[in-house]
Amino acid sequence: MRVRNLLFGYLVALFAATDALAQNSINKPNPAADSTSGASAGAEENTLAPVIVQPEAGASQSDVPNYDVSGEGGNGFGEGGFGGFGNGMGTGGPISWNSGAITTDRQRVGTYNQPAWTTQRPFTTTRTYVIPAGTYEFEQWVRPTWNKDDPTEYRMLEEISLGLGCRVQLDLYERWNIEPDVNGKEQANHEGVQIEMRYALADWGVIPFNPTLYAEWIERGGPQDDKPNKFETKLLFADELSPNLYYASNVILEQEVSDTLETEIGWNNAFGTTVIERKLLAGVESEFSSTTQKGSRGEPETLLSFGPSLQYRPTPRQFIDVVGLFGVTDDSYLARMYIVWGFQFGTRAGPSSGYAGGPASSYFNGGGGEYRGSAATRGD
């Protein structure tokens, strides 16, 4: 319980600090501008008359540049928040949550130049890259598992995700279960809390499959305080195999630190494709794990499951993920379902200079408009 209070106390302090930083950066006066304003006024009489540039006669409106500094499309400042300081002209600065500037799932956004489909958890079983700097996210998870011989289990998770900048993401979870007690009655109980950190090794498209490091600590508590704490490490991969085929893969190691010293090695995979731009994503996901305990390392419990997945986005801030998995090995459960509702706040990453995979210089062949794909699919 003490660790739980410390974690959520840290979360409150982090929110307060980041919001204060954002407001200070946005509202901070410009001394240079103040110091030069008097000099500019004094020199007004010696200033040349302004030059007015008119479009060439006969030029169409499309030939005339339109420099929008309203904050839409990543130009200038949008809504406030930590990490949301655009530097203008489509460089991934923040935009309004009501903006229509992001029109496709493959459109590149934010300071990491990542595709829009990676900014809202596209898959539940498989983690994908990091969320943009300045974006915060709340998620409610419900995970029922139908076992072959044992009663149905329900796991609930409440999660807060923070895009901290520098390709770092912090996640805090509350974990609780609904399961039968000693009398066979369903009872909710607190399982523990967990803290998770991710670090992407580079901006999107710089390294094939965009590797991201992941570490997690799970602290047991409440009625399950007798269960051992454990840590988990993952190596995350994600990329676009073709213009409308998205892929993510996680290599997993989970280790209990006491008692039976249970070790789990896993490999999760997911494929997705856009059905309706910025509204509906469909795909397939899989979970694989091999679990052993002290004294029986040669007798692993092997689980393998597959199933369809959907993501629906009712608004730019919200998403709903639904996944149904079906076990295919003797040790597997009968079926498992993930239902996740997510709500984002803070800043929304605007369009960046890139669009279709890989570094900006590699999107199109020689600037002629031919799509070349991401670094992974090109074999660079």
Strand ranges (E), 293-351 = 301-312, 318-327, 335-346, 348-349
Per-residue pLDDT at 87: 37
Kindly report, residue by residue over 64-102, the tens digit of the pLDDT.
444 333 344 333 333 333 333 333 346 789 999 999 999
* Count of alpha carbons within 13 angstroms of residue 263, beta-carbon side: 10
What is the rounded end-to-end Cα distance, in angstroms, of the chain?
50
CATH dotted code for 108-141+156-172+191-355: 2.40.160
Contacts (Cβ under 8 Å, ≥6 apart) of 308? 282, 283, 284, 285, 323, 324
* CA–CA dist 151, 228 (Å, integer): 23
* Domain ranges for the chain: 108-141+156-172+191-355
Q: What is the pLDDT of residue 105?
A: 97
pLDDT tens digit string along 2-54? 545 555 565 555 555 545 544 444 444 444 444 444 444 444 445 455 555 55
pLDDT, position 181? 78
The dihedral region occupied by 237, where left means phi > 0, alpha psi between -120 and 50, and beta the remainder, is: beta
- pLDDT single digits (tens) 208-257: 999 999 999 999 887 777 889 999 999 999 999 999 999 999 999 999 99
Instruction: Give the pLDDT of residue 70.
Output: 38
Q: Which of the two residues, 55 and 241, has the higher pLDDT score?
A: 241
Residues paired with 246 in a beta bridge: 240, 272
pLDDT tens sequence across 100-140:
999 999 999 999 999 999 999 999 999 999 999 999 999 99
pLDDT of 58 strictly over 70: no
What are the tokens at 64? 């005339």
Please check the confidence at residue 285 and state whether its pLDDT lies above 60: yes
Alpha helices per DSSP H over the chain: 2-27, 31-42, 375-378
Question: Which among 19-23, 51-55, 332-336, 360-364 has the top mean pLDDT?
Answer: 332-336
Predicted pLDDT of residue 139: 98
Q: How confident is the model at residue 180 (pLDDT cuts 50, 70, 90)?
A: confident
pLDDT of residue 307: 98
